[in-house]
């Protein structure tokens, strides 16, 4: 399954799962909780689709697959916007001095799902962008002699998401450094805003 059918079906499936779970939860729970449950289900379905599909691709053919599995800038922008909005709203709407332990746990899970989804999308995009100039001119130089697979790009993306910097990998093009810079800034802002809001809300509850 390649091309549109690969990532297009993945997006459609995630949306369908999120809608079904969210609408079902809306029959039994308040809107904020139903929205969080729907988002979590969709985010997990989408991330699972990316990981299961790309991790199953052998190293020998990963270059060709990565060129067709990119979600594109529009999808990335929409996912980043949705993840940020849902994370912030989940804190404001669900974290109060009257919230139960289960609701607080759901808010934490929602933030983690959003965080993981953002970096999973970037990992897939890095895999695509790495070979944008051709399979023989990778824009990321990973240590070792083995050809990179999806786990390598996930490592690169999640390290940036946690530390806002690259680790033991070298970028070989201006385009890749630009993408890495954007990812680092997005990660810093996302983490900082979530932490600041969380601290403010918790302080107000004391």
Digitized pLDDT (tens) for each residue of the chain, 206 residues in all: 444 456 678 888 999 999 999 999 999 998 889 999 999 999 999 999 989 988 888 888 888 777 666 666 677 778 778 887 887 777 777 777 677 878 888 888 888 998 999 999 999 899 888 887 666 678 899 998 888 899 999 999 999 999 988 888 999 889 899 999 999 999 998 888 888 777 766 666 66
**pTM listed for this prediction:** 0.86
Ordered by start, the domain boundaries in the chain are 4-205
Task: Based on DSSP, count helices (H) and strands (E) in the chain, helices before strands.
Answer: 7, 2
122-140 burial, b at 16+ Cβ within 10 Å, e below that, comes to bbbbbbbbbbbeeeeebbb
Q: What is the rounded CA–CA span in Å between residue 26 and residue 205? A: 27
Could you tell me if 101 and 206 are in contact, meaning their C-beta atoms sit under 8 angstroms apart? no
Output the CA torsion sign for 188, 190, 193, 194: negative
């Amino acid at each position: 399954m390649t091309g549109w059918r690969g990532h297009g079906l993945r997006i459609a499936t995630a949306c369908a799962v999120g809608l079904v779970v969210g609408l079902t939860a809306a029959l039994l729970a308040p809107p904020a909780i139903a929205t969080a449950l729907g988002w979590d289900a969709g985010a997990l379905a989408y991330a699972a689709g990316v990981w299961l599909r790309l991790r199953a691709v052998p190293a020998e053919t990963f270059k060709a697959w990565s060129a067709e599995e990119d979600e594109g800038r529009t999808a990335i922008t929409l996912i980043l916007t949705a993840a940020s909005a849902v994370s912030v709203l989940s804190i404001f709407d669900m974290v109060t001095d009257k919230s139960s332990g289960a609701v607080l746990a759901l808010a934490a899970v929602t933030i983690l799902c959003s965080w993981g989804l953002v970096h999973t999308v970037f990992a897939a995009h890095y895999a695509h962008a790495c070979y944008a100039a051709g399979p023989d001119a990778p824009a990321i130089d990973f240590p070792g002699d083995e050809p990179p697979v999806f786990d390598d790009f996930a490592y690169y993306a999640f390290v940036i998401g946690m530390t806002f910097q690259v680790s033991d990998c070298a970028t070989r093009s201006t385009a890749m450094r630009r993408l890495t810079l954007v990812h680092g800034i997005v990660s810093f802002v996302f983490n900082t805003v979530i932490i600041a809001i969380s601290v403010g809300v918790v302080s107000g509850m004391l």
